[in-house]
Structure 1
Amino acid sequence: MVIACHVPLWVHGTPIFQYVGFCVARSPIPGNAKASTSGTSKESGSHVFCFICHELTTNNHPSRDSIGKNLQKLKSMVRLRHLSVLLMLCVLGVFSANSGLIAKTFESNGISYVEEDIANQTVSVTKHRNAGSKYSGLVNIPASVEYDGKTYTVVGIDNEAFRGQVELTSVVFPKTLEFIGYKAFLGASNLKTVAFSSSGVLTEIGAQAFKSCRYLSNINLPNSLKTIGEYAFEDCEALKTIKWGNSLETIGKAAFKGCGNLESDLIIPNSVKSIGELCFMNCVNIKRAAIGSSVEIIGADAFLQCTALEDVSLPESLKEIGYEAFRGCWNLPSIEIPDSVTKMGYGAFRYCVSLSDVKLGESLKEIEGWTFEQTAIRKIDIPNSVTTIGAYSFIECVDLQEVNFGLGLEAIYDSAFLGCVSITNIDLPESLKTIGSLVFAKCENLQFVTIPSSVYDISDRAFAFCPNIMGVYNLARTPQNIYNREVFYQSGIDGHVVVHVYVDLYDLYTTTIGWYDIGTDYLCGIEIVADIENASVESIVFAEDPIYCKIGEQKKPNVAIYPLNASNKELQWISSDESVLYVDMYSGDIIGLEEGEAFLTATATDGSNVSASVKVIVTDEAGIGDVMIDRPTETVIYDLYGRRLNRLQRGINIVNGKKVYVK
């Protein structure tokens, strides 16, 4: 038989459960033990007995061991789901009732308090017991209060303690304060000043603590503060200045969202590790943001629509920029992404219409969708670390003239550069495998395109509506997969695109399904011209030097092979120490085997015997070194037939691997 015991338990002034104690009818009470405060009863002539209650009522200070033994006895007697939880509640309930340790609420000088820690005599400010009571004007919360002959230390502001107190204008907090609870001052719409003790011990401001305190203008946070909770100061429309403490670590989600008058110079302290999503959204007065040297994450929408933002300084500690973090920062002209950043969420700088100068870090893995949509970027260098460019990444960047693709790029997804009307030349890297649909559509001034031999998929309308294309140089010896005939839909002069292929591949391209279909379509017509000479390899360039590899990690080194029209770009790979570094002879894939260094050598198989080597460092953890691209030190010029030239000539020239057009 279970009998409940009415014992309230309190956490930060809030009762979390009440009916917790219980007893189980089993056997007569041994010896002269009396029934506990959990109650007694008779059932079929048996006395109610609870081992735990017996222990607590016959021993003022029962040992943990004796209680534990009796818990095991009781478990063996009763089969009850969640018994362990109920037994613990029994212990708490009986112990509280037996010792008289029940949280009290009381009032002193017009302020209501509730006991926090009975043994240490601490209290927190709580709601008025009388629902109609109001605070007005200045409230000075003392460091200690006396009640019933005892002195209590004030350590907290309870959840919703001052919620909706519209006549409250000022609050002075004691240095003993440790926490401010959830919604503590929510809607105290006339609160103008809050005074924290500079030598205080406050560590946490809870979620929505000061939300919608519309007249709060200045806050000086103590050095002890570690956490600002979610929405803590949201919509504090008059808030102008924040003096940050030097121990702050976390600024929660939307903590200062909608603080439209926040100071123009925002300096996040070096102690902060994360800036929550929506944190400074719609803070339209911020002009400069200096992010502290320990920040690792800037959350999604953190600076969304900070329309006055002109300067952002990002630290080398930063690892992740959340999606749409700086979306709609109209006046931001430039941004430098540190090498430490590995992830930028989609739309991170979307609609930053003044953003013209961008430097991407060398550890970035992916440019996600919409990242730079409708920005004013003029030139972008894609790092070798980037493997994918997401859909719509640079859509309608109408000022973009030059794109330098990194040697690690494998896929460009749908509409990535759609509407980039200022691009005139596209040289795709040898690492690229997939070109999505509409990737370069409506690039109205695009004239020349080089498609490397590595590409095997070209999706529909990839180069559609590009009326000024003068030539496409397709360096693939095996025709790519074409999913429909509209790859060059309404492109080229008079809807006609000239595709250049190797001299010995005319028949292959004109009879391959897909390419043949394009050639017969009026609106998507192409002409295959087999005029690219078969050239030999002259140089091999590694994208990284040195290469870092973890033990057990598999990766593929990225290389560039010059000239671009080298007809056979197959390489053979060798490791100088196969106990440290394994390499697949044909694919070039490497695997770190043990800590150490080895040289990786790639050799052309076209008979030229050209080779290049790079140091590979195998470690327990992947290191980040200086990533370098070994460009040719001399100017090397070829024509489109692979013949080396002494000087530039009229028409298209290949200069150090890039096409140059001379009128």
Structure 2
Amino acid sequence: MSGVYDRHSKSLLKVVSPCSKHFEIENQTYHICDYAFFRNFDIESLTFSENLRSIGSKSLYGCKNLEVVFPKNAMIESIGDCAFMNCKSLKEIGFIDSVQFLGRSVFAGMDKLESIKLPKDLRRIPEFTFFECESLKDVEIPESVSVIESFSFQHTAITHLTIPNRVVKLGDAVFSRCFQFEQVTLPNRLKVIPERTFSSCKYLREIEIPKSVNTIMKEAFDGTESLTTVRFHGKVEHIDDTAFKDSGLETVIVPFWAKSYYKKVFPNLTIKSAIL
């Protein structure tokens, strides 16, 4: 199997003989260019060169039969938009320990991906990163992450998750349609729970809202039919009327000094006070 190679930039530009099942990238290659393997349905395994540092946008998009990637000690620093999107047979991502930048939708649509440990220096989880990774159950988010963008974990199989306390911002619908989601620990610096954050998480049973949160936006917990209890650690100044639409919410536990406030917000629910 061969490709077009730019010696000046040390980049693999394009694969030109798409019939081989295995491709090994030569050691002098530092970069895989955009669209290099785009929708290559024949490739089943890929070996990175040890000098590879970056993977371009959509470089392996739609390689639906790619099953194995051998990192060969590669120290990859960045992966572009949609680079592995719809690689539906790829089960493991064992080549991102050194990554500092991920583009949007990098691993979206990887049907067989079950677990991942994100790199320790990652600062941001971009939009749609694991969108529709319907087998993804176990995710370890590093303490370095401060922003998790919209739809990044939508329709995954996550059941339990602790979001690091450094996270100050979530995007819309980050965990929506995570039908197996049962338990989540929110960071204590979060100010806003955005629109549809946990919508349709039908097995989410209980959640604690940190003292830092001042806004819960529309449909944030819409369709959480198993959610019966919410514990508020502070006074949330704005809770949209639809925030808990079609949830199973029955009981709200609040600080004793805020009980009268929450009685007005939730006039039809049981309000209990506690020292939180």
Regarding TM over 0.5, the answer is yes
C-alpha displacement of 1:194:
5.5
CA distance in 1, matches of 2:131, 2:3: 39
The equivalent residue for 2:239 is 458
Is 1:228 the counterpart of 2:32? The answer is no
Is residue 253–residue 276 contact of structure 1 (8 Å, CA) maintained in 2?
yes
Corresponding residue of 1:386: 167
Aligned in 2, Cα 1:312/1:464: closer, same or farther, shift over 3 Å? Answer: same
Give yes or no for contact 1:439–1:462 (8 Å, CA) kept in 2: yes
Match of 2:273 in 1: 532
Counterpart residue number, 1:560: none
Structure 2 vs 1, CA of residues 322 and 476 (structure 1 numbering), >3 Å: closer, same or farther? farther
Residue 442 of structure 1: aligned partner: 223
Q: Structure 1's 361 and 290: CA in aligned 2 closer, same or farther, altered over 3 A?
A: farther
SS at match of 1:474: strand
The 8 Å contact of residues 3 and 15 in structure 2, kept in 1 or not, is answered as no
Q: Which residue of 2 aligns with 1:268?
A: 48
Q: Which residue of 2 aligns with 1:313?
A: 94
Q: Which residue of structure 2 aligns with residue 127 of structure 1?
A: none
Q: Deviations over 1:567-619 (max 9, x none)?
A: xxxxxxxxxxxxxxxxxxxxxxxxxxxxxxxxxxxxxxxxxxxxxxxxxxxxx
Work out the CA distance in 1 between the residues paired with 2:61 and 2:7: 24
Structure 2 CA distance for partners of 1:284 and 1:241, relative to 1, 3 Å: same
Distance 2:246 2:3 in 1: 64
Tell me the CA shift for residue 329 of structure 1: 0.6
> How far apart, in 1, do the equivalents of 2:116 and 2:94 lie?
8
Q: How many angstroms apart in 2 are the aligned matches of 1:245 and 1:284?
A: 23
Are 2:128 and 1:350 equivalent residues in the alignment? no
Counterpart mapping for 1:218-257 below 5 A: 226-229=10-13, 232-233=14-15, 236-257=17-38
- Alpha-carbon distance in structure 2 between the residues aligned to 1:244 and 1:329: 22
Distance across 2 between alignment mates of 1:386 and 1:454: 20
d(CA) in 2 for partners of 1:385, 1:527: 33
Contact 2:169 2:192 in 1 (8 A): yes
Residue in 2 aligned with 1:107?
none
C-alpha distance 267-362 of structure 1, shift in aligned 2 (>3 A): farther
Matched-pair contact (CA < 8 Å) for 1:239–1:259: no
Whether 1:341 and 2:83 are equivalent positions in the alignment is: no
Q: How far did residue 373 of structure 1 move? A: 1.0
RMSD after superposition: 2.5
**C-alpha distance in 2 between matches for 1:251 and 1:289:** 14
Query: Does the C-alpha gap of structure 1 residues 424 and 509 become closer, same or farther in structure 2, counting only changes over 3 Å?
Result: closer
Cα offset for 1:446? 0.6
Aligned to 1:284: 64
Partner of 2:203: 422
In 1, the alpha carbon distance for the partners of 2:3 and 2:220 equals: 57
The corresponding residue for 1:164 is none
Q: Structure 1 residues 461 and 241, CA, compared in 2 at 3 Å: closer, same or farther?
A: same
Structure 2 distance, partners of 1:341, 1:311, is 19
- 8 Å CA contact retained: 2:136, 2:157: yes
CA contact (8 A) 2:252 2:270 kept: no
Report the equivalent of 1:473.
Answer: 253
1:203: which partner in 2?
7
Q: Point out which structure has higher relative CO (alpha carbons under 8 A, 6+ apart).
A: 2
Q: Secondary structure at the match of 1:442?
A: coil
What is the CA–CA distance in structure 1 between the aligned matches of 2:109 and 2:49, rounded to whole Å?
25
- What's the CA shift for 1:239? 3.3
Q: Does 1:324 align with 2:105?
A: yes
CA contact (8 A) 1:290 1:312 kept: no
Structure 1 residue 532: deviation in Å?
Answer: 2.1
> Retained in 1: the 8 A contact 2:251–2:269?
no
Question: How far off is 1:202 after superposition?
Answer: 6.7
Deviation at 1:460, TM superposition (A): 2.9
Note the C-alpha offset of 1:288: 2.4
Contact 1:237 1:258 in 2 (8 A): no
Matching residue of 2:153: 372
Amino acid at match of 1:322: G
Cα distance in 2 for partners of 1:246, 1:374 equals: 38
Question: What's the CA shift for 1:372?
Answer: 1.1
Show the 5 A alignment for 1:260-659. 260-264=41-45, 266-291=46-71, 293-453=74-234, 455-466=236-247, 468-475=248-255, 477=257, 501=259, 506=260, 515=264, 519=267, 526-527=268-269, 529=271, 531-532=272-273, 535=275, 564=276
Q: 1:52 maps to which residue?
A: none
Structure 1: which amino acid aligns with 2:152? T
CA distance in 1, matches of 2:232, 2:243: 12
Pick closer, same or farther for the CA change 1:369–1:476 going to 2, 3 Å: farther
Please tell me the residue identity of whatever aligns with 1:395: S
CA contact (8 A) 2:24 2:47 kept: no
- Structure 2: gaps of 5 or more residues: none
SS of the residue corresponding to residue 311 of structure 1 reads coil
Q: Which has the higher strand share?
A: 1
Q: Distance in 2 between matches of 1:290 and 1:262?
A: 13
Q: Is the 8 A contact 1:327 1:347 kept in 2?
A: yes
CA deviation profile, 1:64-117 (whole Å, cap 9, x unmatched): xxxxxxxxxxxxxxxxxxxxxxxxxxxxxxxxxxxxxxxxxxxxxxxxxxxxxx
How far apart are the structure 2 equivalents of 1:262 and 1:356?
A: 26
- Compute the displacement of 1:237 (Å): 3.6
Q: 1:195 to 1:312 in 2, by over 3 A?
A: closer
Give the aligned length.
275
Structure 2 partner of 1:626: none
Cα 1:314–1:382 shift into 2, 3 Å: farther
* Structure 1 stretches of at least 4 aligned residues deviating more than 4 Å after TM superposition: 193-196
Point out the structure with max Rg over C-alpha.
Answer: 1
1:243 CA drift (Å): 2.5
1:365–1:388 contact (8 Å) kept in structure 2: yes
Contact 1:393 1:417 (C-alpha < 8 Å) held by counterparts:
yes
Displacement, 1:441?
Answer: 1.0
2:93 alignment partner, SS class: strand
Identity %: 26
CA deviation vs aligned residue, 1:535-566 (integer Å, no higher than 9, x gap)? 5xxxxxxxxxxxxxxxxxxxxxxxxxxxx2xx
Q: 1:373 to 1:476 in 2, by over 3 A?
A: farther
Alignment partners' CA distance in 1, 2:62 and 2:175: 24
